[in-house]
Amino acid sequence: MAAATAVPAVPGTRQGPPPTPPARVVPLALAGLAVAVVAGGCAGLALHSLHAMIEHPAAWAQALIWLLAVAACLPVVPAVRALLAAPQRTRLVAAGDLPGARASAADGREHATVAMGYALSVLIGAALVWFVTANDGAISHTFLRWTFIDQAWSGVTKAFWVNIRVAVAAEVLVLVLGLVLAVMRQLPGRSGRPLRWLATLYVDMFRAIPSIIVLYLVGFGLSLAKVPVVKDLSPIWLAIFALTLTYSGYVAEVYRAGIDSIHPSQWAAARSLGLSYPMTLRTVIVPQAVRRIVPPLLNDFIGLQKDTALIGVMGVTDAFTQSRLVSSDVFNLSPVIVVAVLFVVITIPQARFVDRLIAREQGRRAGRTS
């Protein structure tokens, strides 16, 4: 059979390689043990520094620190199990039970790699704790002082509503303007050329200009130049306008990718039924494209939400501006941490929501095709 597929060097002598015993486990297991021990030691040092920083920790805090210390040593367990698997492998090899030896060697290697993975995570955690507590807790005193957080909290959360309102209004406008731009970029034929060109220019420009510059120019330029209508807008509306300008460029590209991703046969089918170009776009192409673009669209929206922290440059008091006011009063950065946490709090649900949407879409497709 082998002769049919490969020509042996000497006819009739070709053989498969002899079965080999599995590789030794001991080196990997020792490496795992070493990493686990080092990680445990580092964690001990870091927790000691934490203990020292808190000065007189309450009983529950003490208990927690001890618990963490024990947890940091846990990766030693799989490392030891890996070491225990090594002699078993040797025994089975000696007994000629190659499959058994391979299985126990594989077990040993898996325990060793598990030990390393967890030990590395412990190391990273220890580094973080050390960073926060080092220098007698200077870091945590600067960023995480509870009294200042408490003091800034109500003012900053109130100001955060401005960020949310600006973000939501800009997102609605961006959805519309982005679609208009994307459709303009797709217009067919000679008549569409100037509009295609303009839309491309717009997208290129506003994706290139940093949004803080657009905010600055819109915020001060438009009222300085006494542009009619616009000059009477409140700074909040100007902020919405500026963010819409920037982000509709991004979202236009998202829409365009979505429209491009619809197979040309869908165009052919719709047109062959007598649907016009705009009708095809509206009833067949865009509805299918929209489903696919939700995740990238949400990415851009998260970017937009974060950029609302920049609207302070045009004189709007948003959460970041507010937190900086408090911050410079107390000469401590803890109030700014409040803003950071607020942004995290609004972003995570959106990220999970997109995950759910994607999972549901995939589930529906799988359910339908099976």
Partner 1 sequence: MTFLQIRDVHKSYGDHEVLQGVSLDVARHEVVCLIGASGSGKSTLLRCINALEEISSGDILVDGDVVSGRGVDVNRLRRNVGMVFQSYNLFPHMSVLRNITLAPTRIGGVAKEAAEERALALLDRVGMRDKANAYPDALSGGQQQRVAIVRALATNPQVLLLDEITAALDPELVGDVLAIVRELAGDGLTMLLATHEMGFARECATQVCYLHEGRILERGSAEQIFEDPQEERTRQFLGRVLTGGRL
Residues of this chain that bind partner 1 (CB under 8 A): 265-266, 268-276, 279, 283-284, 287-288, 291, 365, 368-369
Neighbours of 142 (CB within 10 A): 13
Question: DSSP class of residue 16?
Answer: P
Spell 233-263 as b/e; 16+ CB within 10 A means b. Answer: beebebbbbbbbbbbbbbbbbbbbebbeebe
**CB-nearer residue toward partner 1: 169 or 275:** 275
- Cβ of residue 256: shortest distance to partner 1, in angstroms? 19
Can you tell me the distance from the alpha carbon of 259 to that of 277, in angstroms, rounded to the nearest whole number? 13
**CB-nearer residue toward partner 1: 142 or 283:** 283
- Cβ of residue 291: shortest distance to partner 1, in angstroms? 7
3-state helix, strand, coil in the chain (%, to 5): 85, 0, 15
Instruction: Map 181-222 to HEC letters.
Output: HHHHHHCCCCCCHHHHHHHHHHHHHHHHCCHHHHHHHHHHHH
Can you tell me the distance from the alpha carbon of 38 to that of 109, in angstroms, rounded to the nearest whole number? 19
- Cβ of residue 41: shortest distance to partner 1, in angstroms? 57
Please enumerate in sequence order all residues whose Cβ is within 8 A of that of 321, keeping only pairs 6 or more positions apart, or say none. 159, 312
**CB-nearer residue toward partner 1: 266 or 328:** 266
**CB-nearer residue toward partner 1: 62 or 283:** 283
- Tokens, residue 276: 């016009």
- Tokens, residue 226: 């006494």
Can you tell me the distance from the alpha carbon of 358 to that of 295, in angstroms, rounded to the nearest whole number? 8
**CA 167 to chain centroid:** 20
**CB-nearer residue toward partner 1: 121 or 266:** 266
- Cβ of residue 283: shortest distance to partner 1, in angstroms? 6
**CB-nearer residue toward partner 1: 38 or 262:** 262
- Cβ of residue 268: shortest distance to partner 1, in angstroms? 6
Query: For residue 325, which amino acid is it?
Result: L
Question: DSSP class of residue 274?
Answer: T
CB 160 within 8 A of CB 323: no
How long is the chain?
370
- Cβ of residue 191: shortest distance to partner 1, in angstroms? 14
CB 39 within 8 A of CB 122: yes
**CB-nearer residue toward partner 1: 20 or 369:** 369
**CB-nearer residue toward partner 1: 3 or 269:** 269
- Cβ of residue 271: shortest distance to partner 1, in angstroms? 6
- Cβ of residue 299: shortest distance to partner 1, in angstroms? 23
